[in-house]
Amino acid sequence: MDSLNIQLLYVPTIALILVIGFYFFYSNKLEDKELFKSFFWAIAFFAYLFNLIWEISQGFLYAGYIYDLEHISFCALASIADVFMVFLLYFGCSFIFGDVFWIRQLNLKKVFLLIVIGGLGAVFAETKHLAAGNWAYADSMPLLPIVSVGLAPVFQFMILPILIYWISFERQKKYQNS
């Protein structure tokens, strides 16, 4: 990462617009608007926190990464984009499962689908960013065979979303019971 590339912001901007649209669609459709709003903000908080930790901790796997203000700021910005992607994944599953609170009936089929979609989305995104020269991997980055994208960013979107949704849902159960 030599400098911030404006093309790097296209997809997050589109994702932000979609997330805002989904937010208003569901908040107007649901009876329990407060529960939805609280759940939404819990997802936003945990998505940012967990993705920021992940982004910073995997920094050494990227070429030229130094733990300085510039690179950590880039990780903070990337984590905001990750939040939008976490929401798109959640709202996409809401559409597929026909329920914005699909996480309430979590089962292996839903977990598997979430892992597959998250992983495939990460492979697609990494392929695009690598081709655009937005970043490059250090020799220490383990690569997925055939597609040659980093294992760490793919695992990020295979593991973190389900963890974020589950923790946010558990928080909601406590919120409802208090």
End-to-end distance of the chain based on CA atoms, in angstroms?
46
Residue 166, CB half-sphere, CA atoms under 13 Å: how many? 11
- The pLDDT assigned to 174 comes to 76
Q: Would you say residue 6 has pLDDT above 90?
A: no
> Mean pLDDT score of the chain, rounded to an integer?
92
The per-residue pLDDT for range 43-61, each reduced to its tens digit, is 999 999 999 999 999 999 9
In the chain, which residue ranges form alpha helices assigned H by DSSP?
10-29, 33-57, 69-97, 108-132, 151-177
Q: How confident is the model at residue 98 (pLDDT cuts 50, 70, 90)?
A: very high
pLDDT number for residue 115: 96
132-139: average pLDDT: 92
pLDDT grade for 76, boundaries at 50, 70 and 90 = very high
Is residue 3 scored above 90 in pLDDT?
Answer: no
pLDDT value for 11: 79
Binned at pLDDT 50, 70 and 90, residue 5 comes out as: low
Pull the structure tokens for residue 11: 């997809």
At residue 173, the pLDDT reads 75
Average pLDDT score over residue span 7-21: 85
Q: What is the pTM of this model?
A: 0.91
Higher pLDDT, 162 or 178: 162
pLDDT tens column, 25-43: 998 888 888 889 999 999 9
Return the number of other C-beta atoms located less than 10 Å from residue 36's C-beta: 18
Task: List the one residue out of 165, 173, 3, 31 whose CA is nearest residue 88.
Answer: 165
Q: State the pLDDT at residue 96.
A: 92
Within a 10 A sphere around the Cβ of 37, how many other Cβ atoms? 14
The token duo for 42 is 């819990």
DSSP state string for 127-158: HHHHHHTS--B-TTS-B-TTT--BHHHHHHHH
Q: Between 92 and 4, name the one with better pLDDT.
A: 92
Could you tell me if 125 and 82 are in contact, meaning their C-beta atoms sit under 8 angstroms apart?
Answer: no
Q: Answer left, alpha or beta for residue 103, where phi above 0 means left and psi between -120 and 50 means alpha.
A: alpha
Neighbours of 108 (CB within 10 A): 7
Whole-number pLDDT of residue 7: 66
